Amino acid sequence: MTNIPLLVITGPTASGKTRRAVDVAKALNGEIISADSRQVYRGMNLGTGKDLEEYDNIPYHLIDIAEAGEKYNLYRYLRDYQIAYNQIINNNRLPILCGGTGLYVESVLNGLVLPAVPQNDELRENLKDKNLEELKEILSKMKVLHNTTDVDSCKRAIRAIEIQTYYEQHPNEAILAKPKPINNAVIIGVDIDRESRRDRITSRLKARLECGMVDEIKMLLDSGIAPDDLIYYGLEYKYLTLYVTGHLTYCQMVDELNIAIHQFAKRQMTWFRGMERRGFKINWLKYDMPRMEFVDSVKEIISKVSE
């Protein structure tokens, strides 16, 4: 095992992250921890692009760990990530975090800790009629607002105030909850140009539809999951559910979904650029590099960090 604590392989959708992570894991005695907010759900395979056959014999974690229809969240992810990470370290193998959910990746790298802060019904009642600007002002008096994640909706802002109020009342837990950033983590970004990304997204969508993605949605609905619960997951699950339930034609579904995935990839890249502005060093390697050249480049980057 290398002497870095964590290797991250990230990038936008359709850039080929999983295949690259598997190649690197084989070369560096690694195990993969997924950083994908939807691959945690069982039965949601084609729509989330699990491509489990790509893992070959490499152990993977945090895939198929929640029931479809649940609303998995960052708190659960960080808890489950730490369990998986400890198992891999105890096996004397390299943890490789692979995925494109920027919030999960950055939260792990920041060492974010989210204690199980209970709901404060009285506080929520007092805040329920306040608008977002008023809630931001309250929160800004309680902590420094480093980013907009906590305040992009009234619901999130109220929860953030609830957490800060709990910390003020329980200072010992607040100390334990301070982030513990991971030092010397190596972040690899799979770099794909816009046109190639667009072509791969469109081709992949066509292939997944041909492989039965509509049937996957029908199966999930037939299992008792409410349409709104599938729509909640967005992208494939939103548009295919709208098609299956008669709200979109097939052509409308394909066209609108294709556009939505392209927009999603752009948002991912915006997040990664934001990470770089926030001080994270992302080593970008071309998506179409020959396999062993990619692996060797990762090894070289790791060796420089390890010196």
Longest dimension (CA), the chain: 59
So what's the pLDDT on residue 232? Answer: 93
- Characterize the bridge pairing of strands 30-34 and 94-98: parallel
Q: What does the pLDDT read at residue 49?
A: 93
Q: CA–CA separation, 260 vs 234, rounded Å?
A: 9
d(CA 186, CA 9): 9
Q: Evaluate whether 204 touches 14 at the Cβ level (below 8 Å).
A: yes
Contacts 24+ apart (CB under 8 A), 145-151: 149/103
d(CA 126, CA 120): 10
State the angle between helix axes of 74-90 and 102-109 in degrees (0 to 180), rounded to the nearest 10. 60
Distance CA(224)–CA(14), nearest Å, equals 30
Residue 278: per-residue pLDDT: 94
Q: Give kind and range of the element (H or E) at residue 30.
A: strand 30-34
Strand-by-strand arrangement of the 60-61 sheet: 60-61, 30-34, 94-98, 7-10, 186-191, 282-286
Cβ atoms of 34 and 211 closer than 8 Å: no
Phi–psi pair at 264, nearest 5 degrees: -60, -45
pTM for the model stands at 0.86
Neighbours of 93 (CB within 10 A): 16
> Tokens in use for 97?
């975090």
Spell out the long-range contacts of 264-270 with Cβ–Cβ below 8 A and sequence spacing 24 or more: 264/13, 264/235, 265/12, 265/13, 265/14, 265/197, 265/201, 268/11, 268/12, 268/13, 268/100, 268/102, 269/12
* Count, residues in the chain: 307
CB 59 within 8 A of CB 31: yes
Q: Where are the beta strands (DSSP E) in 91-132?
A: 94-98
Beta strands in 250-292 (DSSP E): 282-286
Cα Rg of the chain, angstroms: 21
The torsion region of residue 42 among left (phi > 0), alpha (psi -120 to 50) and beta comes to: beta
d(CA 303, CA 299): 6
Exposure string over 209-239, b if 16+ CB within 10 A, otherwise e = beeebbebbeebbeeebebebbbebebbbbb
Per the CB < 8 A criterion, the answer to whether 156 and 149 are in contact is yes
Per-residue pLDDT of the chain (307 residues; tens, 9 = 90+): 578 999 999 999 999 999 999 999 999 999 999 999 999 999 999 999 999 999 999 999 999 999 999 989 888 999 999 999 999 999 999 999 999 999 999 999 999 887 778 899 999 999 999 999 999 899 888 876 655 555 667 887 898 899 889 888 888 776 667 788 999 999 999 999 999 999 999 999 999 999 999 999 999 999 999 999 999 999 999 999 999 999 999 999 999 999 999 999 999 999 999 999 999 999 999 999 999 999 999 999 999 997 7
